[in-house]
Structure 1
Amino acid sequence: MWWYVGKRLLQTIPVFLGATLILFSLLKLRPGDPILNLAGNKPVSQEVRDALAAQYNLDDPLFVQWVLFVKNAITFNFGETFSGQPVFDLIKDTFPVTVVLAVMALAIDAILGIILGTLAGLRRNGAFDTVVLVISLILISVPIFVVGFVAQLTFGVKLQWVPATVGGDWTLSELVLPAIVLAVANFAYTIRLTRTSVAENLTADHVRTARAKGLSNRLVVRNHVLRNSLVPVVTYLGINLGALMAGAIITETIFNIPGVGNTAFLAIQRGETSTVVAIVTFMVMVYVLMSLLVDLLYAVLDPRIRYV
Structure 2
Amino acid sequence: MTRFLIRRVLELLLVFFGVTFTIYAMVFALPGDPISALGGSNRPLPENVVIRLREQFLLDEPLITQYLHYIGGLLMGDLGQTFDGRSVAERMSSRWPVTITLALTAWVVEVVIGVGLGLVAGLRQGKAIDKTVLVGTILATSVPVFVLGVTLQLVLGVWLGWVPVAGTTAGWPLAYILPAVIIALFGLASVSRLMRGTVIDTMRSDFVRTLVAKGMPKRRIVGVHVLRNSVGPVLTFLAIDLGYLLGGTVVIEGIFNLPGIGQLLFDAISTHEGPTIVGISTALIIIFLVTSVVVDIIASLLDPRIRRE
Q: Is the TM value for this pair above 0.5?
A: yes
Q: Which residue of 1 aligns with 2:238?
A: 237
2:24 counterpart residue number? 24
Match of 1:61 in 2: 62
Matched, 1:111 2:112: yes
Distance 1:270 1:33 in 2: 12
Cα shift at 1:29: 4.9
State how many pairs are aligned: 306
Shift of 1:141: 0.3
* Cα separation, 2, equivalents of 1:136 and 1:198: 17
RMSD between aligned residues: 2.3
1:34 counterpart SS class: coil
* Secondary structure of 1:215 counterpart: coil
1:14 paired residue number: 14
- SS class of match (2:86): coil
Rounded to whole Å, the distance in 1 between the matches of 2:268 and 2:12 is: 25
Once the two structures are superposed, what CA deviation does each residue of 1:104-126 show, in whole Å capped at 9, x if it has no partner? 00000110011111001100010
Q: Which ranges of structure 1 fall in alignment gaps of 5 or more residues?
A: none
SS in 2 for 1:52: helix
Q: Which residue of 2 aligns with 1:293?
A: 294
TM-score normalised by structure 2 residue count = 0.90
2:38 is matched with 38
Q: 1:218 matched to which residue of 2?
A: 219
What one-letter code is carried by the residue in structure 1 that aligns with 2:105?
M
Question: In the superposition, relative to structure 1, how do residues 149 and 40 fare at CA in structure 2: closer, same or farther (>3 Å)?
Answer: farther
Counterpart contact for 1:69–1:274, Cα < 8 Å: no
Q: 2-side partners of 1:72 and 1:36: how far apart?
A: 25
CA separation in 2, counterparts of 1:161 and 1:273? 39
- For residues 112 and 37 of structure 2, what CA distance do their matches in structure 1 show? 44
Deviations 1:231-263 (A, max 9, x none): 111111110000000111111111111111111
Gaps of 5+ in 2: none
Give a deviation string over 1:8-62, Cα, whole Å, max 9, x none: 4454432322221010122235455422442234334433322222232222221
Distance 1:36 1:159 in 2: 47
SS at match of 1:153: helix
Whether the 8 Å contact between 1:102 and 1:179 is mirrored in structure 2 is: yes
TM-score between the two structures when normalised by the length of structure 1 = 0.90
In the alignment, residue 180 of structure 2 is paired with which amino acid? A
In structure 1, the residue corresponding to 2:95 is in which secondary structure?
helix
Letter aligned with residue 13 of structure 2: I
Evaluate the alpha carbon distance shift between residue 159 and residue 230 of structure 1 in structure 2; reply closer, same or farther with a 3 A threshold. same
Q: Which residue number corresponds to residue 258 of structure 1?
A: 259
Match of 2:279 in 1: 278
Q: Percent identity?
A: 36
